[in-house]
Amino acid sequence: MKEKSKVWVGKPKHVKPGGAKVVAGKAGAVRKRPASAGPTASVEASVAKITPARLAAFEILKLVGENKGHSDELLHSARVDGLSPEDRNLTTALVMGVLRWQIALDARVRGLLQRPEQRLAEPVSIALRMGAFQLLHLERIPAHAALSESVELCRAAGEPHATGMVNAVLRKLAAAQKPGVRIHESVAAFAERLGHPRWIVERWVAAYGRDVALKICEADQHEPVEGAMFAERGGDWPVMDDGSRLVGEIAAAAMPGAKRVWDCCAAPGGKTLVLAKRLGGAEIVASDVSAKRLAQTEARLRRYAYAERVGFAVADAAQAKGVDGEFDLILCDVPCSGTGTMAGNPEIRHRLKVEEFARQAERQRLILKGALKRLAPGGRLVYSTCSLEAEECEGVVDAVVGAGGVVRVPVDGVMAELAERGVLSGEMGSAVRDGALRTLPGVHDGDGFYAVILERA
């Protein structure tokens, strides 16, 4: 991780970037203390009053908001690893909780501002969100601790003028009664209550119905549970989301006698491990367009004895370059918007724009077409995404299959076989939709995934 993305724990960052600024006052212009001069004594005093967990969470949230890091990477940085187990747990709870509930928290805070339309400085907003999240969702945190440290975070970030407002708003929130349960909620109301952008919830309502969209939003507010879908777990099975593992299981069962297998977008490697464990006699090639991500994948797989025969190649699947020959089985788990994984990747909801779906779909079509060039006659390819959006799933497959050369194979038979073999711990018939896999958070265990089987004619 680059130096600028390090997490601030116990050592304050400069209060304002840039040089000195001139502020007009009654007695004329007053030059503010330049950031290069270092923190003031008051900033140092504020930092001393804040626990390392809250300092770390504040800085991570600031970096995520500035698009300078992903929450998962930052929460596993060396600085966070250096915290006590208790502080690490609190840092993780604060970061993930604030990101999951940010839209709802901002709505509650706006209602308590004297001027709800005013735009707050980002450090002030983060301090308010952290305080509000602790008051509303962390019952074991004393209200005075959540309130006082949020005020000190604001002061430590160089926003002392806002401390009175932060104190007043959080006191009002602590004293307010929890809102009652409405008999009927509009889509806009439950989207806000459950911390989701209205526009994407409206898409889910149109695609899956109101009740399912509500379940998806509710599931996104909790950490996904691993292992509930499968009878076999623990031991030397990789730790991964159930949706990801199910895609790997479907791919392995789609062509059990495969001799050559290509996982063409392999990072971070969980599905590759499933393929290696299930297809003991196959030659498996794991590739990724990113050399860095592939190196991380290789390091992960080398910890599993059954993955020792997996080969690795930096390759651009869209160009069908970087690997040689044809394959009996190809897993094409393409990069996507990730709307099915918002429980574990909550910041997606804050960054995503509707135009992203078309951009992703264009890239996905190129990858699928490139991968199909390496599919042997009679071979099978599993195309999958962790997106809930039709543009990235059915739309991509329809466009490519329509060009000819491949046919769809209904996933129903493979799912039935997995159930008969005892791989699945429960009935999963509702996860099959129009011959393809479609898991939905809140309806099925794990993340939301789409997968379809294609066969070379």
Q: pLDDT tens digits for 103-137?
A: 999 999 999 999 988 899 999 999 999 999 999 99
Give 131: exposed, middle or buried? Use CB within 10 Å, 0-12, 13-18, 19+: buried
pLDDT band at 13 (very low <50, low <70, confident <90, very high): very low
Beta bridge partners of 330: 262, 381
Shortest CA distance to 345 belongs to which of 132, 69, 79? Answer: 69
**Across 277-301, average pLDDT:** 96
Banded pLDDT at 232 (limits 50, 70, 90) = confident
The predicted structure's pLDDT at residue 14: 36
Q: Are 365 and 399 in contact (CB under 8 A)?
A: yes
What amino acid occupies position 95? V
SS3 222: coil
Question: What per-residue confidence (pLDDT) applies to 44?
Answer: 85
Handedness of CA 207, 209, 214, 220 (dihedral sign): negative
Q: What is the mean pLDDT of residues 151-175?
A: 95
Give 17: exposed, middle or buried? Use CB within 10 Å, 0-12, 13-18, 19+: exposed
Rounded to 5 degrees, what are φ and ψ at 221? -90, 5
DSSP H stretches of helix in 83-142: 85-110, 122-137
Distance CA 154, CA 164 (A): 10
Supply the mean pLDDT for the chain.
89
Mapped onto helix, strand or coil, the DSSP state of residue 436 is strand
Q: What is the pLDDT of residue 183?
A: 79
pLDDT at 22 over 50: no
Average pLDDT over residues 199-216: 98
What value does the mean pLDDT take over residues 274-298?
96
State how far the Cα of 46 lies from the Cα of 152, in Å rounded to an integer. Answer: 5
* Residues 253-265: tens digit of each pLDDT: 999 999 999 999 9
* 309-357 tens-digit pLDDT: 999 999 999 998 889 999 999 999 999 999 999 999 999 999 999 999 9
430 is written with which tokens?
């509702």
Rounded to whole angstroms, the Cα distance separating 2 from 121 reads 25
Contact 341, 386 (CB under 8 A): yes
pLDDT value at position 41?
54
Which CATH entry fits the domain spanning 3-175: 1.10.940.10, 3.30.310.50, 1.10.3720.10, 2.120.10.30?
A: 1.10.940.10
pLDDT at position 15, please? 35
Nearest to 98 by CA among 54, 129, 52, 55: 129
Which residue reads 């006082």 in tokens?
A: 148
Q: What angle do CA 208, 214, 215 make, to 5 degrees?
A: 85
Cα dihedral 267→268→270→273 (10° resolution): 60
pLDDT at 40: 55
Strands (E), 282-348: 283-288, 311-314, 327-333
What string of DSSP letters covers 62-82?
HHHHTTS--HHHHHTSHHHHT
Q: Write the CA distances from 246 to 225, 229, 414, 419, integer angstroms.
A: 14, 9, 11, 12
Tell whether the torsion through CA atoms of 86, 84, 12 and 349 is positive or negative: negative
Beta-carbon contacts of 439 under 8 Å, excluding residues fewer than 6 positions away, are 242, 243, 246, 340, 431, 446, 447, 448, 449
SS3 assignment, position 416: helix
Q: Which residues contact 114 (CB under 8 A, 6 or more apart)?
A: none
| Cβ within 8 Å of residue 392, ≥6 positions away | 334, 336, 337, 357, 360, 361, 364, 385, 450
> Which sequence positions are flagged as catalytic?
386
Please give the pLDDT value at position 223. 87
- Return d(Cα 357, Cα 68) in angstroms, integer: 22
At position 60, the amino acid (one-letter code) is I
Amino acid in the structure at residue 255: M
In this prediction, residues 129-151 reach a mean pLDDT of 96
Domain boundaries 242-456, CATH class = alpha beta
Segments making up each domain of the chain, as ranges: 3-175, 187-220, 242-456
